[in-house]
Each structure stands twice: as structure tokens, then as C-alpha cells.
Structure 1
């Protein structure tokens, strides 16, 4: 399984997603141990994400979560739900990632973007600020906060 997974990573890095998916699926067929299986599922989901196949991302991540809950899986799950326009499910996934890793600035910022998408700007501001408390250099949180402040300041 290891060689198939490694080859999948090479193809993924070369942006050859179809070949990468084939390799990851081959690796999974060879029954890797649970931790490696989760890593392969994560790479497979990320590859589907790059292809814009967000519903497949959901399927793959759900299989990985049956093995173990790790924050990165919930982050990928949330990003897929976000791209599908399902902001409430995305927030639920990002919230679970934060429960598992309270120091995850990116997941706070991701919730901020979900709230921004549904036009809850004051709440989005809170999440962007929390993300920046955890990581003052997180560009996406800075941009989200600047947007919210600009819109809210024009309304006042």
C-alpha cells in the first residue's frame, strides 16, 4: 500500500489528479493500518477537492471519520460543505475541528467566512478576531475582518 500511496502523492503534486486518485484507491484496497488509512483518505479527499468534486470529498471524509476523528478531516469536510453552499454544515464541521483542536486559527477563520456568506457580519467579526488572536499573521482572517469592518462601518 505504501508505494501506491507514495505514487499518489507524487501524482497529486504534479497536479495529475486522475492518476493520484487511482493510486490512492489502490493503496486503500491493500488494507493499510488505521493511521495510514486516514492519511490516504485525507490525500484522496484533498485530490477530489482540487478537482471540484466536493460530494466525493464528503463521502471519503465520512469513511475516514469512521476510523478516527482528527481535526484535519473536519477541516476538509467543512471546506467541501462551504464550496457546496451548505454553510451551516460547514460551520458544524469547523466547530468540531475546533473542539478537537482549540488552537486552530484557520477553523475560526473558516467559521467567520461561513457567517460572512450568510451575512452575519458582526458574528463573523468575532470569529475573525479570535483567529487573529491565535495567529496574528493569518491573511485570510485579516481580509475577512477588514471586509466586515468596511461593510459594518458604512452601515453605521
Structure 2
């Protein structure tokens, strides 16, 4: 039996369900893959690390933050102990755990991790990479929650510029930046621009996501 192929197949099934917004179903596949990976693979194996990251990320999407935190903190500990791990994999884990902390209102801890993630990405990715745009959006949210609104606005506008150059007009990732930047501008009293961005966000979300997807209507 090819253990890694079995794990990858389960991981792929979980990924497809996650894309469709079926997070609880995806978690079942990821947990099955995790059980096999933890039984047969070394703690630093890339296949095992990928499953744990996807599982933690999907628990976040499903609102199960404590479960996500436990998985991602353990994953980050492994990566820090083994510097041979790819830098961008470390960046992904920092971003996901930072996002998890953000949802739990642990803003200082979240900011520290996401800033570290962005520094790694700036060293290894092109300046217009969409992963870096995602990190800027999360960091912008962290700053916004701490009332550092000018810093938040700068990052969110930069994130939006990258997204516009990379995605179609109604892409859901573009909509998410519109929403967050709209919130930031509203807090600064820039109401007219905020309303425009929020309106665009609603239109993009309805256009790009299936009407039953859990992200439609969020906000």
C-alpha cells in the first residue's frame, strides 16, 4: 500500500469539499488523513505537514478556533525545531495561526505572527504575489482591531492593488479585501468610499459564490 498516495487522495478530497464550503465534511477526510500520517510518517514529512495545515485551516473556516489553534501551534513548533522546512511552508503556518488568533481577539499575538509571515514572503515571493496580498489583508485587520487605522489602510490598499491585477473583477478574494478596507475607511469617517466598497463586496460575493456557500452573506 502506498501510504503517501492514500493520504494525498484524502487530502485532495478534503480540499475539494473545502473549496465548495462543506467544511465539516472536509474535516472528516482531513482527520482520516491525519490519523494515517501520524501513524506512519515522520513529524517533518511534507505530506504530514500539509495535512495538518489544511486541517487547522479548515477548522478555522468552520469556526472551531481552539481545535485549529492546537493543531497549528503544534505544527509551528515542529517547523521551528527543524529549520530545513521550507520557508514558505513556515509562512503559511504563521499566517493561519495568526488568523486563528485574530478571530479569538488575540490581536498582539496575531500581529507578531503575521508580520513574521510577511517578512518571509517578501524575501521569497514576487512583489505582486497573491499570497502576500492575503497576508497584507490579515495584517491590516490586526492593525484595524488595534485602532492603527492608517497602517491598516496602507496595507489593505496595497493588498487590493495586487488582487486587482491578479483576479477577475468578481473574484471572492477581491471581495474580501473590499469588505475589510470598507470597514477600515468607515472607522476613519470616510463614509462615501466605504459604502462603495461594501456595495461592490456584496455584488462580487453574490456573483462569484454559489448561493448556498457559507461565505455568501457574511459580514
Cross-structure match for 1:81: 101
- 1:29 aligns to 2:39 (yes or no): yes
Using a 3 Å threshold, how does the CA distance of structure 1 residues 154 and 20 change in structure 2: closer, same or farther? closer
Return the structure number with greater relative CO, CA threshold 8 A, min gap 6: 1
Figure out how many residues of one structure are paired with residues of the other and give that number: 155
Identify the range of structure 1 (38-47 vs 134-143) with the bigger mean alpha-carbon deviation: 134-143
TM-score with structure 2 setting the length: 0.60
State whether structure 2 residue 97 is matched by structure 1 residue 94: no
Residue 143 of structure 1 aligns with which residue?
179
8 A Cα contact 2:102 2:142, kept in partner: yes
Deviation at 1:11, TM superposition (A): 4.5
Asked whether the 8 Å contact 2:57–2:96 carries over to 1, the reply is yes
Q: Deviations over 1:97-155 (max 9, x none)?
A: 10110240111111111222233322211221222343336333333223333332369
Q: Unpaired segments of 5 or more residues in structure 2?
A: 80-84, 166-173, 192-219
Tell me how far apart the structure 1 counterparts of residues 189 and 104 of structure 2 sit (CA, whole Å): 30
Alpha-carbon shift at residue 62 of structure 1 (Å): 2.6
Alpha-carbon RMSD across the aligned residues, in angstroms, is: 2.5
Structure 1 residue runs of 5 or longer lacking an equivalent are none
CA shift at 1:88, angstroms? 1.4
